[in-house]
Structure 1
Amino acid sequence: MEFVPCCQYRGDGKVTKTSDKHRWNMLQLAIRNNTLFRADDYDMKERAGIDKQYTYFTIEYFIMGADLLADIDNPEMPIHRHWKYREELIRENKFVIMSHGGIDMPKVISKSLLLRKYHDVTRFHLVDKGIAMEVGSKYIRDEIGMGRYLRYLMRDEVYDYIMKHRVYSKE
């Protein structure tokens, strides 16, 4: 499995709160000694700073939370924040969508003309039983930022790195 973290300054105008350097270092620690995992800095290096860090250019298979599924074709989102190449992205890739935040994934798909257009038995694999993504990256950032102890949610090396570099400190 390949991990391709997005650049800190994304094409949709969002900026991650954690620097590319820290996110890259934490990823390296998280997958260290696992030969099944590989990290690729394509978005962070190759496309950084050119405002073209579109998901479409970097994936073939996408694992994401249901919150991102709801954002792909969200009509309430301003046009300049829409996912670039979203139709091509959906048409040409497969998705594993993890339950998150109580979002009704089949309802999200059924309400979107675009998602419905490409929905078949192979396009979207909805994981809503047994595994939940209620503990996501935002939860971890917020909890550590408030000084809570979350070592048990990640490898020790990653937790130690976060604490040493005060990655999510609110100061």
Structure 2
Amino acid sequence: MATSTDTTVNTTDVAAETVGEDGVRRRDFINIAAVSAGGVGALAVVYPLVSQMAPSKDVLAESTTELDISAIQPGQAVKAVFRKQPVFVRMLTEAEIAEADAVSLGDLREPETLADRTLEGHENVLVTMGVCTHLGCVPLGAAEGENKGEYGGYFCPCHGSHYDTAGRIRKGPAPTNLVVPDYTFTTDTTIVIG
């Protein structure tokens, strides 16, 4: 008997990759397309998450306060609101400026000159937060007829802190001067706080 042996030859079909005219293979194009689609998808997911963390329009509107100070006469002060807190804007007289400059820095709890607390060229305009640095009460002295304390500036009725005409603490429990916020003059009569 004759036995026949069948031999099977396993041939592997190797798909020939087609190369285009510009030298880019089909597989490279698919990889580039997949990575691009993944990047666009990731951006579509991340952008709303990041943008929702941005402040809303009403918060941005309260981040600055613009104030026309043309109606303030020397010796007068006005109250404004900045970030839901009172701000005092005082137009100092020549006598108040001289009085503030005459104070020795050694006599002050927190030594600052009037020039340190005002902007150059506008030394007669003092802008301070209207919040006592002791426990956050609103001092008196900005409105006409209010108690201005022993030093002619501001007086906190809660615990008796006295501030001078430059908003510097002179007597009482407040540890520091009234805070001067960041502000700029956009014109000679308009300030932007914040």
TM range (shorter): under 0.3
What TM-score do the two structures reach when normalised by structure 1?
0.25
Q: Which has the higher strand share?
A: 2
- Structure of higher CA gyration radius: 2
Structure (1/2) with the larger helix percentage: 1
Provide the TM-score with structure 2 as the length reference: 0.23
Structure possessing the higher relative contact order (Cα contacts under 8 Å, 6 or more residues apart)? 1
